[in-house]
Amino acid sequence: MVEKINNEGFQTRNDLNYFLTELKEQESWLYSYHSKMLQMISTQIDGAQKSLIALNKKGHKVGKLKFAKYIEYRTFAYNQSGFEIKDGFLHLSKIGKIKIMQHRKIPENIEIKQIAVTRSKTGKWYCSITCDVDAVLTKFSITKSVGIDVGIKNFAYDSDGFVTPNPLNLQKMLKPLARAQRKIARRQKGSNNRKKAVRWYQIVHERVKNRRKDFLHQISTQYARKYDVIFLERLQKLNMVKNHKWARNILDSGWGTFTNMLDYKCMLVEVPAKNTTIDCSRCGNAVPKSLVVRTHRCDVCGLVLDRDHNAAINILKKGLDIFNINLPQELREVTPVEIIPWSVKQEEATGRLVVVH
């Protein structure tokens, strides 16, 4: 299919499915795989070529579609049919039944739309289940709200003064990773010993990933249980990582993953990050400071506190301004219906609030 698109130009999803039917007549081994699983390949390639076209229209330099390497293609999906989950087993058509460790029960009368099976680089198998669920947003109290400032030294510093140090999991594993990379460099390409060395290198990276993910789940769940509304600054992460001095620690922190976790665990409101560190949280006076200065000192009102704490309070104020509420006033309980007049767009699917300027 990739070769057909590169040689003949744009192909619709139906064209690719017709081509798949012709290909199955030529290659009989394709009948050993479920039809829906094969059709998901055409859907995936169709999405890839549309993405290239969209990037090209925006002025980006794009090339042609490339073949995925055999060792890098580790996911297949069943859509609409060909699967069943029953009695602790996953039944896949043309494959068989596989015993699974299900981390939670699937609600009754819920339609499963798709199942994606993925093999990790270390050889572990995972199954992602997509269901069609009617989500209803419940009432929430604006009194239980907090502003959070994320950073490198302190991962999260909230407006209530609670601080969570950044574990920087990758930083702690740099020596084992360097040792694993040296082993790979000493092995002959294509040898089994090199494959073993690469596998160990992937295992170390997976451990770093699991530790980071576990930390982010713990802290996001802690905030979701304690507060109803969380205000977070909207950071331009791609611009921030252009600074090579801080890029590794920024990516190691996982701010984007933390935002996504809060997004589906509670009501998340992202506010502009402009001047949240500079402005004084008490009087609004601008107090410029470099990254080395960790204490906020206002010459006008005399406020002295941690710079991250000051930024978290400013984030909370900006978030409450969306609801037309000031900090000194008594906060009231609101519902999602009441939020609409305050120029806030509500996404019903996730419950996420995005400020509309």
- pLDDT tens figures, 137-196: 667 777 788 999 998 989 999 988 899 999 999 999 999 999 999 999 999 998 999 999
Q: Are residues 211 and 263 in the same domain?
A: yes
Instruction: Specify if 11 maps to a domain.
Output: yes
Work out the pLDDT band at 328, boundaries 50, 70, 90: low
The two beta strands, 111-119 and 75-79, are antiparallel
pLDDT at residue 46 is higher than 50: yes
Both 115 and 166 in one domain: the answer is no
Contacts 24+ apart (CB under 8 A), 207-213: 207/173, 208/169, 208/170, 208/173, 211/167, 211/169, 212/167, 212/169, 212/170, 212/252, 212/254, 212/257, 213/254, 213/257
pTM of the shown model: 0.77
Q: Are residues 212 and 339 in the same domain?
A: yes
Of 132, 165, 197, the domain-final residue = 132
Written as six digits, the tokens of 202 are 């992937």
Question: Is residue 127 domain-shared with residue 144, that is, in the same domain?
Answer: no
Same domain? 113 vs 192:
no
Domain assignment present for 265 = yes
- pLDDT for residue 338: 35
Model pLDDT for residues 218-233, shown as the tens digit of each residue: 999 999 999 989 999 8
User: Mean pLDDT, the chain, as a whole number?
Assistant: 85
Instruction: Give the number of domains in the chain.
Output: 3
Asked whether residue 151 falls in the same domain as residue 36, the answer is no
68 falls within a domain: no
217 is in which domain, residue-wise? 140-355
Residue 65 lies in a domain: no
CA distance 208 to 252: 9
Whether residue 32 is contained in a domain is answered as: yes
- Residue where a domain stops, chosen among 115, 132, 149: 132
Answer yes or no: do 310 and 208 share one domain. Answer: yes
Is residue 107, in this structure, part of any structural domain at all?
yes
Give the per-residue pLDDT at 262.
92
From 78-92, 200-214, 312-326, the region with the lowest mean pLDDT = 312-326
Do 225 and 319 lie in a common domain?
A: yes
Cα–Cα distance between 280 and 123 in angstroms, integer?
Answer: 52
Domain end (from 113, 132, 151): 132
What CA–CA distance (Å, rounded) separates 330 from 315?
Answer: 18
DSSP one-letter code for 78:
E
Pairing of strands 154-158, 145-150: antiparallel
8-state DSSP, 32: G
What's residue 339's pLDDT?
34
The verdict on 190 and 248 lying in the same domain is yes
114 lies in the same domain as 168:
no
Residue 67 forms part of a structural domain: no
Question: How many Cα atoms sit within 13 Å of 161 on the Cβ side?
Answer: 1
Do residue 233 and residue 350 come from a single domain?
Answer: yes
Same domain assignment for residues 14 and 112: no
Cα 213 from Cα 38, distance rounded (Å)? 32
Residue 70 domain-assigned (yes or no): no
In this predicted model, what pLDDT tens digit does every residue of 75-125 receive, in sequence order? 999 998 899 998 889 999 999 999 999 888 888 888 899 999 999 988 899
